[in-house]
Structure 1
């Protein structure tokens, strides 16, 4: 266990803490009066009081050494190369950024007595199971280098938990959306930008493919519950309610009160027919329960995009 003097707050390292999910997680830990170190290639959009920012690449041993500072009691590892397409084009770089960095952080944590480690993972580790429901106990059968790196990271966490007694949890996020995602290229962000500009969105095939969308506030709550629970294993962080692309578009039209034209184009190879997750086990293991319905979550996202457009943020 990392030593802690009586007058110093506990410290958590959040890698990727300048990103969309990372900023929200950092804010939540600060509201707990914990000290936070952020390690990220990108500078923060807005610095938060009480946060130490390290701008640099976690492949650099010096950055890793500074990131796992004295007093650190846990690591929330969100930093990763997440593009599936880029992972196919650059598998070696994806391995270095995802697997090698995770291994080095785990080893630093072990050496310095940091016994809590949370990893942002993905349901892509199980591959394409059609329209069947994804659960934590499905075999790992990734179909891309990105999915394979996350599967490898999950196995590293399991190994360090088994050999050294560390508390390690892989959080498999579904499609995260919400305020703060202005620069993301996800479908929700594209819809919001299209509504603002009066343009339309491209829809693959008939638009009946289903996705699980989870609001960033629910992701943060799930991350904190995993942190508090002391659970070692895997947990799916999603809404547990999948909707079709056409339903997403209809909901955006309703909450914005504006048109959103759609253009149907052929689906690319490998387009998943459905992402349907079962979150009941996560409710048992870490207490995760999604509380924000899609319409309410999209309304908060729309207000955020409007404020961005008006220059109020």
Structure 2
């Protein structure tokens, strides 16, 4: 019996695939390769190239590979892009998930794991975000993830599926240079891009109500994100009929933009002093996870620290940009 992982050739998905394979779980990957890379997958892992919107393809994969559980990671995930193209994001993220759930229910799947996001919370006015903190997403991307959680819960109740939704906070790092995030949409690769061009990193606002005036976030190593999925798979495998969970994946510790720049300077040996520019609209001052519930329910906690994240991400950046 295997698990189907949608989006398994992407940055996070490939880490999850590797962790599950190392744990002894057989997996099959479905990916449209719009951002995924087959080279990230371990040898021997079957890859089906196609869309989560293709019901006939899903039916065939679920039947041919004797799937026992589905881990749905595939999604569009750029906040700014979602603001410009909300219809595309709802189609890909919500309708794609609906089709996967429909196919899963028809195939009698009883275990479903959904990749959600801290974007569901929006701008929470709390020191630590718990799973009961009210959700008020500030972008179509965040909305699609919240709607996705509702869909997963409703389908699970209607069709007897055990379900888990994992809300990622700020994912960084890599298990190996070849698995590093190729994009430059998050803080760490954005800073690397500026430093590689001989430019100072940009700090969007330094007048927030935080200890050093810059935004505070909860950064989590992608390898820790992967082991959280392994723990969730074990829970669903052991108790599918008694599992309906929504859990944060975070370190529980806040890191400011200036603290992140200091860490990048330590690791790279470069001057990472930032240039302060105007705030970006909608940036909350502080978003830090409570990781208590996931520890209680899955026995999981983060293992890697800030310098581990930066060093592994930097190794990946240098591999992809050898001339910088």
User: When the two structures are superposed, what TM-score results if normalisation uses the length of structure 2?
Assistant: 0.87
Structure 2 residue aligned with 1:99: 94
Q: Residues 232 and 298 of structure 2 are in contact (CA less than 8 Å); yes or no, is this contact kept in structure 1?
A: yes
**Distance in 1 between residues matched to 2:27 and 2:152, nearest whole Å:** 22
The structural deviation recorded for 1:46 is 4.0
Q: Name 2:42's counterpart in structure 1.
A: 48
Unpaired runs of 5+ in structure 2?
Answer: 175-179, 207-212, 237-242
Residue-by-residue CA offset, 1:212-267 (whole Å, 9 max, x unaligned): 10001100011111111234210100111111000000011012222124221101
Q: Among 164, 167, 170, which residue is 2:162 paired with?
A: 167
**How far, CA to CA, are the matches of 1:130 and 1:137 in structure 2?**
13
Q: Which of 1 and 2 has higher RCO (CA within 8 Å, sep 6+)?
A: 2
Give secondary structure in 1 for the equivalent of 2:5.
Answer: strand
Question: 1:11 and 2:2 equivalent?
Answer: yes
Given the two structures, how large is their TM-score scaled by the length of structure 1? 0.90
Residue 251 (structure 1) aligns with: 263
Over the residues paired in the alignment, what is the CA RMSD in angstroms? 1.9
Q: Quote the offset at 1:99 in angstroms.
A: 1.1
Q: Quote the residue 1:80 is aligned against.
A: 75
Q: Hey, what does 2:128 align to over in structure 1?
A: 133
Q: CA contact under 8 A between 2:53 and 2:100: conserved in structure 1?
A: no
Q: State whether structure 2 residue 226 is matched by structure 1 residue 220.
A: yes
Say if 1:38 and 1:67, in contact at 8 Å, map to a contact too: no
TM-aligned CA deviation for residue 131 of structure 1 = 4.5
Q: Is the 8 A contact 1:59 1:101 kept in 2?
A: yes
Deviation at 1:305, TM superposition (A): 2.5
Deviation at 1:274, TM superposition (A): 1.1
Query: Take 1:273 and 1:196, find their aligned partners in 2: how far apart are those partners?
Result: 28
The Cα shift of 1:290 comes to: 0.6
Number of corresponding residues: 302
User: Which one is further off, 100-109 or 212-221?
Assistant: 100-109
Q: 2-side partners of 1:120 and 1:143: how far apart?
A: 18
Between 1:211-220 and 1:225-234, the stretch displaced more is: 225-234
Tell me the CA shift for residue 155 of structure 1: 0.9
Indicate if the aligned counterparts of 1:225 and 1:288 stay in contact, CA closer than 8 A.
yes
- 1:39 matched to 2:30? The reply is yes
Structure 1 stretches (4+) deviating beyond 6 angstroms? none
CA change 1:270–1:305 in 2 (3 A) is: same
